[in-house]
């Protein structure tokens, strides 16, 4: 047995102080392989305060997000799959990073500087979420993993070649997920191009704040969207170009209300067309470099609440209308209509074909940026 000297004690103290003690950790691990043999990685971000986010390299997907309820019990609040291949076999864009263009482009074409670009038509003659082989189906590369005292993050990168799905320009895209100790998940999207092109990136997570295991329908969730107008759609869900006032319609979420209150309003043609809500809500431009609140979602039963903030001028509210019970997700759970919703900040759908809509153009030498913030909290019981 060796006696501890003053010098050895000092050495041990120095060693202990040199070992970092993090309140937020990032763990990189294998998630699985695709049928073609491609390896998929995962990075799990964890905080001492009970929040956990897992991101996988397939599609830059948010595979899970665990949030405590008012009793401190953390549960996963996003839909998804237990295997990487599941995301390809059941393409509902669950948790995915969407590009090049989130939402829809009418007629699967647009004109830029006098040239017409015919892009991939993957929904009724239109383009949805970039096309049949959008960025949600690509394997991204982990470029940085970081942890620290107050936050942990992972950055993923993908290079989209010129002409992919018909879009012009080579695009270098990145997405960074940062989980803070206070329960804020920030999703930073960025892109650069070598030719003029169009870009509209967002995250397509399906949320149910009651928790994935034993979840209850989101019809009882309460939602607030501070938008005076929305963009009505034609029968194929392409915006007509009109900005319609929400006042006196089922689309008025300026005062918080349950999602189920107006989702079956058969006297509103827009609800009938979309089988519920699948519409772009106009929240207006953001001043400076900040973000603005575009939605608040509350599940009173669990006490979980989520604020959505963005630097983009709109948010798409999709009430999960096409979850039809034909496939199973995590823990072999069948996903049905009303099991989850999406809140997707973005520029307006079909913006490349609507000159009066905010532009989605990106030029060489410019950097596209979209900052999306999911701020989770626990509300006390009423």
DSSP lists the bridge partners of residue 176 as: 155, 188
Phi, psi of 102 (to 5 degrees): -65, 150
Q: Name the architecture of domain 21-378.
A: Distorted Sandwich (2.70)
In this prediction, residue 9 carries a pLDDT of: 35
Tokens representing 15 are: 């060693």
In this prediction, residue 17 carries a pLDDT of: 40
In this prediction, residue 283 carries a pLDDT of: 96
Among residues 114, 135, 105, 120, which one has the least CA distance to residue 166? 120
Cβ atoms within 10 Å, residue 294:
28
Q: What is the largest CA-CA distance in the chain?
A: 85
In this prediction, residue 23 carries a pLDDT of: 86
d(CA 206, CA 211): 12
The per-type count for the chain, helices as H runs and strands as E runs, is 3, 29
Q: Is 344 a catalytic residue?
A: yes
Q: What is the pLDDT of residues 60-79, one digit of tens each?
A: 999 999 999 999 999 999 99
User: pTM to 2 decimals?
Assistant: 0.93
Write down the catalytic residue from 41, 164, 222, 344: 344
Write down the catalytic residue from 204, 212, 229, 370: 204
In this prediction, residue 106 carries a pLDDT of: 98
Secondary structure, 3-state, 132-186: CCCHHHCECEEEEEECECCEEEEEEEEEECCCHHHCCCCEEEEEEEEEECCCEEE
> Quick one: CA dihedral 76, 131, 104, 163, positive or negative?
positive
In this prediction, residue 288 carries a pLDDT of: 75
Low-confidence ranges of the chain (pLDDT < 50): 1-20
Check: CB of residue 313 under 8 Å from CB of residue 283: yes
CA angle at 215 for the pair 210 and 216, rounded to the nearest 5° = 85
Among residues 167, 170, 220, 232, which one has the least CA distance to residue 195? 170
Q: What is the pLDDT of residues 212-245, one digit of tens each?
A: 998 999 999 999 999 999 999 999 999 999 999 9
In this prediction, residue 287 carries a pLDDT of: 77
């Amino acid at each position: 047995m060796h006696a501890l000297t003053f010098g050895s004690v000092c050495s041990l103290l120095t060693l202990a102080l040199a070992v970092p003690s993090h309140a937020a950790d990032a763990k990189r691990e294998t998630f699985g392989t695709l049928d073609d043999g491609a390896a998929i990685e995962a990075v799990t971000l964890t905080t001492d305060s009970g929040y956990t986010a897992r991101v996988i390299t397939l599609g830059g997907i948010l595979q899970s997000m665990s949030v405590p309820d008012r009793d401190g019990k953390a549960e996963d609040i996003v839909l998804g799959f237990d295997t990487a291949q599941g995301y390809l076999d059941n393409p509902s864009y669950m948790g995915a990073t969407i590009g090049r263009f989130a939402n829809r482009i009418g007629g699967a074409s647009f004109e830029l500087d006098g040239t017409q670009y015919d892009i991939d038509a993957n929904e009724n003659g239109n383009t949805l979420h970039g096309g049949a082989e959008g960025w949600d189906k690509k394997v991204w590369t982990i470029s940085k993993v970081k942890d620290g005292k107050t936050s942990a993050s992972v950055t993923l990168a993908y290079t989209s070649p010129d002409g992919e799905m018909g879009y012009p320009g080579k695009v270098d895209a990145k997405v960074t997920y940062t989980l803070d100790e206070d329960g804020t998940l920030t999703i930073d999207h960025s892109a650069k191009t070598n030719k003029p092109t169009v870009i509209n990136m967002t995250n397509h997570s399906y949320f149910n704040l009651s928790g994935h295991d034993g979840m209850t329908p989101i019809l009882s969730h309460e939602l607030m969207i501070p938008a005076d107008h929305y963009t009505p759609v034609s029968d194929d869900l392409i915006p007509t170009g009109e900005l319609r006032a929400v006042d006196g319609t089922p689309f008025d979420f300026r005062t918080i209300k349950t999602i189920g209150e107006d989702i079956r309003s058969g006297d509103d043609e827009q609800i009938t067309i979309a089988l519920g809500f699948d519409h772009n809500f106009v929240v207006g431009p953001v001043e400076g470099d900040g973000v603005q609140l575009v939605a608040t979602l509350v599940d009173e039963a669990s006490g979980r609440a989520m604020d959505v903030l963005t630097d983009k001028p709109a948010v798409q509210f999709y009430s999960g209308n096409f979850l039809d019970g034909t496939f199973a997700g995590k823990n072999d759970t069948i996903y049905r209509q009303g099991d989850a919703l999406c809140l997707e900040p973005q520029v307006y759908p079909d913006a490349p074909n609507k000159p009066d809509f905010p532009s989605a153009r990106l030029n060489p030498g410019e950097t596209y940026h979209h900052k999306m913030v999911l701020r989770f909290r626990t509300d006390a019981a009423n």
